[in-house]
Amino acid sequence: MNVSVRSLTDPVGILRIVALVLTCMSFGLVASVGVTASESSYWAWCMFTWSFCCFFTFAILILEFTTLSDKVPVSWEDFTTAFAMLAALMCLAASAIYPAFFTCSTCPRQIGATVTSWFCFLTYGAEVVLTRLRPRGQISGFLSTVSGLLKILETFVACIIFTSLDPAKFSGSPGLQWCVAVYCMCFIWSLLIILLTIGRLLSYFPVSFEMVVTVSNVLAAMMYMTAMVIWPLYGFQGNLNDSALWNKLLVVTFMSIFNFIVYTVDSVFSIRMVFWPQASS
């Protein structure tokens, strides 16, 4: 079997090894502390983040070291870029959530887990930056472009929105149900584009892929514009004495605004890619 030592010694490989160690440290420190039942869902999210990132980072290192990545029937560059971007976002969320609920000034292991988690975020972010800093002509995958990275960001923000939705709140409100439909439709379409890109299935599109992405981005931005107005208008009505419900509604509101901005920026890049390809390259 051929092996590639260079995959472990180049800058991206070194960053992956560092990320592997840091995610293991975060996971181990938090596992040794345990969790309180009242905040178990947030604890589970953080633990899933570190274990997910650790497992896939290890798998990528093994596949590239054994050169089996060349035989995987997916776009490897798009897959690794998508994973690095997703891992950076997940570690960023875990680094903010865990200290907010579990860390105190006399909790050394929790503080250590938080610090290593922040370094995980920086490490994965550096990998994304290195991908973007490749010489022109070496960036071949769609997910390595600005528009592709924004697609990953859009799906991640939608996941945060989904984790903050309360069915009891929107089940009886047509306005809020429309907002949930917006989140679902935009998420499914962005995820579909990512999966088709990784699976090398874009050539099967009956029309121009760039045009499809551009139209979908503009529609998604318009739909999110309605959601960021309707959600706070109807969501904050009624009895909101429950602080947990208030926080969830606030998270959905801010994430809706944020994703509207992301889709708007993505639309601008997509329009440039279609109508002014020389300027976007």
Q: How far apart are CA 15 and CA 127, in angstroms?
A: 7
Instruction: Enumerate residues 6+ apart whose C-beta is below 8 A from 237.
Output: none
pLDDT at 226: 96
pLDDT at 212: 86
- Cβ proximity of 260 and 137 under 8 Å: no
DSSP class of residue 136 equals T
- Cβ proximity of 29 and 102 under 8 Å: no
- Cβ proximity of 101 and 42 under 8 Å: yes
Q: How far apart are CA 224 and CA 258, in angstroms?
A: 10
DSSP class of residue 66 equals T
Q: How far apart are CA 135 and CA 149, in angstroms?
A: 18
- Cβ proximity of 82 and 152 under 8 Å: yes
Q: Tens place of pLDDT for every residue, the chain, 281 residues?
A: 688 888 888 999 999 999 999 999 999 999 988 776 555 677 888 899 999 999 999 999 999 999 888 888 888 888 898 899 999 999 999 999 888 878 888 889 999 999 999 999 999 999 988 887 765 544 456 787 888 889 999 999 998 898 888 887 778 788 999 999 999 999 999 999 998 888 888 777 777 888 888 999 999 999 999 999 999 998 888 756 777 778 788 889 999 999 999 999 999 988 887 777 655 54
Instruction: Enumerate residues 6+ apart whose C-beta is below 8 A from 188.
Output: none
Degrees to nearest 5, angle at CA 116 with 41 and 46: 10
